[in-house]
Amino acid sequence: MSDENNFDIVVIGAGPGGYVCALRAAQLGMKVACIDKRGAPGGTCLNVGCIPSKALLHASEVYAEAAHAADMGINFGTVKLDLEKMMAYKAQGITGNTDGVRYLLKKNNVEEIKGAAKLSAPGAIEVVLLAGGTRQLSAKHIVIATGSEVTPLPGIETDEERIVSSTGALSFDKVPKHLAVIGAGIIGLELGSVWKRLGAEVTVIEFLDRITPGMDVDMAKNFQRVLKKQGIKFMLGKKVTAAKALKNSVKLSLAPASGEGEEESLTADRALVAIGRRPHTEGLGLEAVGVALDGAGRVETDAHFKTNIDGIYAIGDVIAGPMLAHKAEDEGVALAEHLAGKPAQVNYDVIPSVVYTAPEVAWVGRTEEELKEAGIEYNMGKFPFTANGRAKVNGTTDGFVKILADAKSDKVLGVHILGAQAGDMIAEAAVAMEFSASAEDIARTCHAHPTLTEAVKEAALDVDKRALHM
């Protein structure tokens, strides 16, 4: 095999985990190739996930704010929506980000290969090139970073017209009169909130008796209350048994999740299936090479991301853990550094999660339910944004900050924020927890006034029941 086809590391997948792993490996002096069948780097996140959804979340928030700007003495007249232009704005953001990743790969001498990769043997990869033909590669180390795909709802077929996945819900050509969202997780609530702000009636259907599984229950209840106040309707404890796409509508058949009670139907313009994501491992030749998968279809790895086959590794959504872009990025860096002989690890106890609705919800560390289950005694501090000066003057008083600290040591075990800019504020909590800070440490740290982050300090003070502004 020619030298141009021999690499130290070949990364399969150019999503956040894959391209970051490739970049860091190249920085450390290794010869690296990064393969992706999409043709544009960035994976689901940059192309049909986090980035386009955030573009629409931001644009729809601006639209909603503009409609109420008169309350602040700013008159635009009648605010009009140009959905085509909004979608062009979204597309521009995607292109800007993917072009940026491509530039970084080139700058760091990572060879970007556009095509579908398949393992033919340990250390050997066959690539069916998008431009035509095939290419045979060899590598000392192969990294599986192929991410995840939409989990289908059994018996319901998405056509990306009437019954859509998150991909289709990012590209509607007009605002639905009524959007049914199947699944009250992060993706469903984010996209549901986009179309609600743009004028749709939104009904969220959830199998469980609560929204956002995994979120602290107290936060989830208050989050649902805020969304209901915004006009989003919820049907909890319901399962969708059938969905029929008609010419101008979708008819959903619903049944109680408990199995007891009468069935009912719901008609909407469009239905979004958002019940989660699953690892994308098909077509990679993993079975033929002998790479082990767990019961959930994820690639099994050790503490250093190595599979059961020497020279083959996996990171990101294809392995256990939260399916988050930043988790995948940290794993990509850790793996590259490990393969370069450097000490590296990922602290899975301090990985923040964010729901990018308005207001946002963000958390890091443990929930109250997890602490109770583990038998850990804790103290709780809580501070509402209604008592924060900046939130009051901004008109963003929904929500609160909650801090959970060990009852004996005062070490911060979890921080949960419902409120404007929660996704940015959670970084303070993550840094504090990474350094094993106590609630007292946060409480004694001077926070600028007037800022929303003062609510974090006040919640830390409230752990010791000495909040100043409540």
Catalytic residues: 449
Could you write out the DSSP letters of every residue in 364-403?
EE--HHHHHHHT--EEEEEEEGGG-HHHHHHT----EEEE
Distance (Å, whole) CA 413 – CA 450 = 27
Contacts of 68 (CB under 8 A, 6+ apart): none
> For 305-388, where are the alpha helices, taking DSSP H only?
325-339, 368-374
Q: Give CB contacts under 8 A, 24+ apart, made by 253-259.
A: 254/205, 257/207, 257/208, 257/209
Strand boundaries in 233-314, DSSP class E = 233-236, 238-245, 250-256, 264-268, 270-273, 277-279, 312-314
Helix (H) or strand (E) holding 288: helix 286-289
Structure tokens of 225? 């209350």
- Work out the angle between the directed axes of helices 83-107 and 16-27 (0-180°, nearest 10): 30
3-state secondary structure of 259: coil
Which one-letter amino acid corresponds to residue 117? A
CA–CA dist 71, 65 (Å, integer): 10
Q: Which is it for the CA torsion 283, 287, 290, 292, positive or negative?
A: positive
